[in-house]
Amino acid sequence: MLDIKWIRENGERLQTIADQKGMEVSINELLEWDGQKRSLLQQIEPLRQARNKMSQDINLLMQTGNMEKADQCKQTVKELNGELARLEAELAGAEQAFKKLMLRVPNIVSPDTPVGRSDADNVEIRRVGFPIRFDFVPRDHVALGELHNMIDIPRGVKTAGSRNYYLKGAGVMLHRAVQQLALDLLMHKGFLPLEVPLMARAEALTGTGFFPLGEDQVYAVPEEERWLVGTSEVPLVSYYSNETVDVTEPIKLAAASTCFRNEVGSASKDVHGLYRVHQFSKVEQVILCEASLDRSEELLREITGNAEELLQLLKLPYRVMSVCTGDMSQKTYKQFDIESWMPSRDSYGETHSSSSLLDFQARRSNIRYRDAQGKPHYCYTLNNTAVASPRILIPLLENHQEEDGSIWIPPALRPYMNGMERLVPPGGPVHNALSV
């Protein structure tokens, strides 16, 4: 949420940003409701003051026995109450319309954010590592998972419907290993780990900027008036909602949690394998800091660097992308995506995302701090996916496969895999019938 005073002065600029982000909201309509709301308040306040003053006069008149004058004042108060009821009903309608539009207003974007319509317009910043080229025909992650008896998609679909899966044996170990590696990495860097609720109230999702525009992506639990969260960013930021916090040093939080996403609108998109599923696990990093552009830029580089360090530990080639306006969410000020090389796609696929939100979430969630002079300010917030699984298993399995079907385990993961250096298919190495 933005400051309405800023919106009044920058309406045309904000409408351009909304159009670039693909947000269907009219800033002019918002400002019209804002003007109507302020006009009604200007009419209501004097009437309220007059009514209150006259109510005091009635008490004095009755105490002095001037009942005729008191009755006249009572009639005037009745008329004032009638007029106030009409105006207050109009004000309630105007405030409701104003709030509804305010919740659809996008965050501003950084000056260096590229303008574009979709992820095709994202700009590559850097590449680390080189896409592997095999001297044999490689298997994709599904074939490798079946060969090693660690991924079972058909039974996942049988049990829970499309975009569901089972992980078994070594698949479970890898799934948990990458999460623990990421969590340990963040804890070493001063992040406080939290075990978070997987369900949230509507206020938490609205406060963090996921409602109302993302409501179709979230699974509802209607009888509880709760929703299953698609990222622990929601409970991590909401942990401090309606509080004044100390950000003398940035507050750094992390959580490893199961996440749920409806994936509405992706019926024919990425249907093969584990790339786009309804249930997954993420290690999320969230930071709350002072309202400083320089500090938030520094922290955005830091959390992006944490994700890059993890990929380097996993020995995976990747590239960092500057996300364009049309591929950003409503709440984002600046965003980097990290894409890992996925041989089966013969391209890079998104595995991580880093975002700076300025005070957009903090305004909606009412999270403040006080500066050295005691003046309150809204915090800035940032977030990053340290790792998401099972998606990360795609590049991990595919890049580290060997011709005989074995899978090399990066040294950083071995302590979490009982010291195993490679996964060998049940029954031993196999001949790749597809090899040339």
**Residues annotated as catalytic (active site), given as ranges:** 261, 276, 350, 353, 391
Give the Cα separation of 341 and 347 in Å (integer). 6
Nearest CA among 77, 71, 12, 69 for reference residue 51: 77
Give the Cα separation of 43 and 87 in Å (integer). 8
CA angle 386, 300, 201 (to 5 degrees): 65
Q: Could you please report the per-residue DSSP string of 395-412?
A: HHHHHTB-TTS-EE--GG
Nearest CA among 147, 37, 44, 52 for reference residue 100: 37
Cα dihedral across residues 381, 351, 173, 151: positive or negative: positive
Tell me whether strands 367-370 and 318-322 are parallel, antiparallel or unpaired. unpaired
The SS3 assignment for 64 reads coil
Cα 384 from chain centre: 9
Give the Cα separation of 205 and 227 in Å (integer). 8
Helix axes 170-188 and 293-313, enclosed angle (nearest 10):
140
CB-CB neighbours of 116 under 10 Å: 18
CB-CB neighbours of 285 under 10 Å: 27
Give the Cα separation of 36 and 44 in Å (integer). 12
Please, is 290 exposed, middle or buried when counting C-beta atoms within 10 Å of its C-beta (0-12, 13-18, 19+)?
middle
